[in-house]
Amino acid sequence: MFDKILIANRGEIACRVIDTARRLGVETVAVFSDADRGARHVAMADDAVHIGGPQPSESYLRGDTIIAAAQATGAQAIHPGYGFLSENPGFVEAVEAAGLVFIGPSADAIRSMGLKDAAKALMDKAGVPVVPGYHGADQSDALLADEASKIGFPVLIKAVAGGGGKGMRKVDAPGEFADALASARSEAQTAFGNPDVLIEKFIASPRHIEVQVFGDGTRAVHLFERDCSLQRRHQKVIEEAPAPGMTDDMRAAMGDAAVRAAEAIGYAGAGTVEFIVDGTEGLRPDGFWFMEMNTRLQVEHPVTEAVTGVDLVEWQLRVASGDGLPARQDEITLTGHSFEARLYAEDVPAGFLPATGRLAHLAFAPGCRAETGVRTGDEISPFYDPMIAKIVTHGPTRAIALGKLRAALRDTQVAGTVTNLSFLAALAAHDGFARGEVDTGLIARDIGRLSVAPEPGAGDVALAALAAAGLMEPGPMTGFTLWGGFRRQILLEHAGAVIVAEIEIDGCEARVWTKEETVQLHRDGSGWRLEGRRAPAVACTGDLVTVFSGAGHGFKVPDPLAVLSAGAVVGNVVEAPMPGLVKAVFVAGGESVVAGQKLAIIEAMKMEHTLVAPRDGVVEACFVTEGAQVEAGAAVIALEDEEAS
């Protein structure tokens, strides 16, 4: 076994590798970019080397710098993680030329699977079923169109150098072929610098089922399958092992084919053979075809670990350090069922737009395996994949593992950025998915229902108001019963709108009301109770309050002085609470406003005070303009008499 390894990656996978290395007594060296100075993987490693700027091309993709870091720190081997340099044969050769060990397959093995057309030809020869189609060298338009017709529509055009779903086009009819070909080629040229394509039969009701393999350079074993059919735009969202509906016959056939694929290229280390499966008539031993092989550890490897009890990173380190395969095929067993959900900082209703932000609060459900590279306080930066964590559950049956996934998602707490948590929760609760009816089109078919952004309920608003007023935790001496007669107005902002909440507390009872609704809460020794149940947890960080019901609802708490200013109302007139500069005026005479709506901002002592409408009404007059200086008590805006409006 090695004494010391360097991990040429970041985020959750770097942390994941460090965990196992530590367990095996192997020292670790992390590398980091400017954006990752305080990152979790840097803190976890025994040593860390700065390798450059925040862009991957300035740091995590700089093979020479990384190799120099390994040499300078005395690391004997480099673990590439996934992504970045993990499938780069030139890097493998450079690592070996520097006298270091690459923890993964040989450069030749990576090369033979690097292009989909060559890989398919190779697999065909090795007796592995490949998707019917054309993967030849002749790339002329006429020939490709002709081949597409021979295969029969619909067909899929794929970039031979493709990955991540890029350069892929489904074509339903001959008339659409020429345009689709042109756009697939141009996307492939831009993304991969290689315009070549292959054509495949489009499998109806496709399922993505992949087999985990492990080789020692000569022999290989498989560790069963994973089903990764829950995809959006060809990206995996929830993965599971084993595949729902898998039969012994088909598992044996797929396992054999995957082992044949790995042995055909003298594969060493962990790899994944991806198959496309025709789900229309159930799973049959002759109904799967080779798509591609990923010559690295896969993002979704934990579900395989959960059902086999194997630590795949341990196996990687053992095989790379010269041990034989740690287990024979008949020693590898499958127990229970496992799910993984990928938690991302992304805006699902906006079309899965990647998001950024500081994680004001991050906590996972006790008992689930959460693989993460970030902690409370860390930043999701725009430079890297916005994955926050992988949430992994295991149970004796699929139903139990799925129930545990739903519970784990319910108890996941993220504040400070939008996430796909409610989308994951909706997927985990999807009827068809629960029945195991998965195919790659499931998400797209139900996207409307799955991507609804849940609105906070009245109870959530009430809790946020209590938290903003500092009433979540009893003081160490006072307790709550001393709050007889407490009454206060709180402003909250949610989704750009201001909510005015009034709080009244008497002993252990709280009443919180807004324009729309009144909520009654009761306090006992363990905290607030709402509708007879324990209220959801709340995190307060800076000016952000997050109520963890559903997928979490974030509220901004405007400056406390702005809260006061809402009360600076005399009759129908909203006054300036202090002397200052009018920064903004949002309304004009004659305009209708609703309670809580922003009227104007006054800046004083470098702080902004937002004046809001004390009630619904119509603006009678606006007495100030932007840039004006006002005195304390100066009239800013007058509303028409309530009867008049």
Q: Which residues are designated catalytic?
A: 296
| Interaction between residue 156 and ligand ADP (CB under 6 A) | yes
CB 261 within 8 A of CB 253: no
Which stretch in 162-170, 321-329, 427-435, 548-556 sits in contact with ligand ADP by CB under 6 A? 162-170
Shorter beta-carbon distance to ligand ADP: residue 209 or 512: 209
111-117, Cβ contacts within 8 angstroms, sequence gap of 24 or more: 112/265, 113/265, 113/292, 113/293, 113/294, 113/295, 114/87, 114/89, 114/161, 115/160, 115/161, 115/194, 115/196, 116/158, 116/159, 116/160, 116/161, 116/162, 116/198, 116/291, 116/292, 117/160, 117/196, 117/198
H/E stretch holding 520 reads strand 518-524
Tell me how far, at minimum, the Cβ of 220 lies from ligand ADP, in Å: 19
What do you get for the CA distance between the two ends of the chain, in Å? Answer: 81
Residue closest to 74 by CA, chosen among 56, 49, 94, 55: 49
Shorter beta-carbon distance to ligand ADP: residue 162 or 416: 162
| Interaction between residue 152 and ligand ADP (CB under 6 A) | no
Alpha-carbon gap, residue 425 to 427, rounded angstroms? 5
| Chain residues 426-445 in contact with ligand ADP, contact rule CB under 6 A | 440
Taking residues 84 to 103 in sequence order and writing x for each that binds ligand ADP by CB under 6 A, - otherwise, the string is x-------------------
Shorter beta-carbon distance to ligand ADP: residue 240 or 460: 240
| Interaction between residue 33 and ligand ADP (CB under 6 A) | no
| Interaction between residue 387 and ligand ADP (CB under 6 A) | yes
Shorter beta-carbon distance to ligand ADP: residue 164 or 324: 164
Query: Which residues is 500 bridged to in the sheet?
Result: 491
Cite the beta strand spans of 260-418 per DSSP E. 268-278, 288-294, 337-344, 346-347, 353-354, 357-358, 361-363, 369-372, 379-380, 387-395, 413-415
Tell me how far, at minimum, the Cβ of 16 lies from ligand ADP, in Å: 11
| Interaction between residue 383 and ligand ADP (CB under 6 A) | no
Structure-block tokens of residue 542: 């800076």
Tell me how far, at minimum, the Cβ of 164 lies from ligand ADP, in Å: 5
Shorter beta-carbon distance to ligand ADP: residue 29 or 291: 291
CB 420 within 8 A of CB 348: yes
| Chain residues 261-280 in contact with ligand ADP, contact rule CB under 6 A | 274, 276
Tell me how far, at minimum, the Cβ of 339 lies from ligand ADP, in Å: 15
| Interaction between residue 165 and ligand ADP (CB under 6 A) | yes
Tell me how far, at minimum, the Cβ of 387 lies from ligand ADP, in Å: 5
Radius of gyration, CA atoms only, the chain: 29
**Angle formed at CA 366 by CA 364 and CA 371, multiple of 5 degrees:** 50
Which stretch in 99-107, 117-125, 247-255, 286-294 sits in contact with ligand ADP by CB under 6 A? 286-294
Tell me how far, at minimum, the Cβ of 86 lies from ligand ADP, in Å: 6
CB atoms within 10 A of CB 193: 8
H/E stretch holding 560 reads helix 560-567
Site size with ligand ADP, rule: CB under 6 A: 31
Taking residues 207 to 236 in sequence order and writing x for each that binds ligand ADP by CB under 6 A, - otherwise, the string is -x----------------------x--x-x
Residues 6+ away with beta carbon under 8 Å from 554: 415, 416, 494, 544, 545, 546
| Interaction between residue 292 and ligand ADP (CB under 6 A) | yes
How big is the chain, counted in residues?
645
Shorter beta-carbon distance to ligand ADP: residue 350 or 444: 444
Which stretch in 199-207, 396-404, 502-510, 546-554 sits in contact with ligand ADP by CB under 6 A? 199-207
Tell me how far, at minimum, the Cβ of 110 lies from ligand ADP, in Å: 13
CA 157, chain centre distance (Å) = 28
Which stretch in 218-226, 343-351, 381-389, 587-595 sits in contact with ligand ADP by CB under 6 A? 381-389
144: alpha, beta or left? (left if phi > 0; alpha if psi -120 to 50): alpha
Alpha-carbon gap, residue 33 to 288, rounded angstroms? 42
Taking residues 117 to 136 in sequence order and writing x for each that binds ligand ADP by CB under 6 A, - otherwise, the string is --------------x-----
Tell me how far, at minimum, the Cβ of 276 lies from ligand ADP, in Å: 5
Among residues 27, 117, 196, 200, which is the contact residue for ligand ADP, using CB under 6 A? 200
| Chain residues 572-591 in contact with ligand ADP, contact rule CB under 6 A | none
| Interaction between residue 382 and ligand ADP (CB under 6 A) | no
Among residues 52, 63, 80, 83, which is the contact residue for ligand ADP, using CB under 6 A? 83
Alpha-carbon gap, residue 156 to 169, rounded angstroms? 6
Among residues 32, 134, 202, 383, which is the contact residue for ligand ADP, using CB under 6 A? 202
Tell me how far, at minimum, the Cβ of 441 lies from ligand ADP, in Å: 9
Alpha-carbon gap, residue 237 to 204, rounded angstroms? 20
CB 8 within 8 A of CB 60: yes
State the amino acid at position 385 in one-letter form.
D
Among residues 69, 299, 362, 418, which is the contact residue for ligand ADP, using CB under 6 A? 299
Percent helix, strand, coil in the chain, to 5, is: 30, 35, 40
Shorter beta-carbon distance to ligand ADP: residue 216 or 439: 439
Tell me how far, at minimum, the Cβ of 520 lies from ligand ADP, in Å: 45
Which stretch in 163-171, 260-268, 421-429, 553-561 sits in contact with ligand ADP by CB under 6 A? 163-171
β-strands 235-241, 197-201 pairing: unpaired
Residue closest to 461 by CA, chosen among 409, 415, 515: 515
Which stretch in 77-85, 96-104, 243-251, 312-320 sits in contact with ligand ADP by CB under 6 A? 77-85
State the amino acid at position 288 in one-letter form.
F
| Interaction between residue 385 and ligand ADP (CB under 6 A) | yes
Residues 6+ away with beta carbon under 8 Å from 182: none
Tell me how far, at minimum, the Cβ of 87 lies from ligand ADP, in Å: 7
Q: Where are the alpha helices (DSSP H) in 265-397?
A: 301-308, 312-320
CB 388 within 8 A of CB 372: yes
| Residues in contact with ligand ADP by the rule CB under 6 A | 11, 82-84, 131, 156, 158, 162-165, 200, 202-203, 206, 208, 231, 234, 236, 274, 276, 291-292, 294, 298-300, 384-385, 387, 440
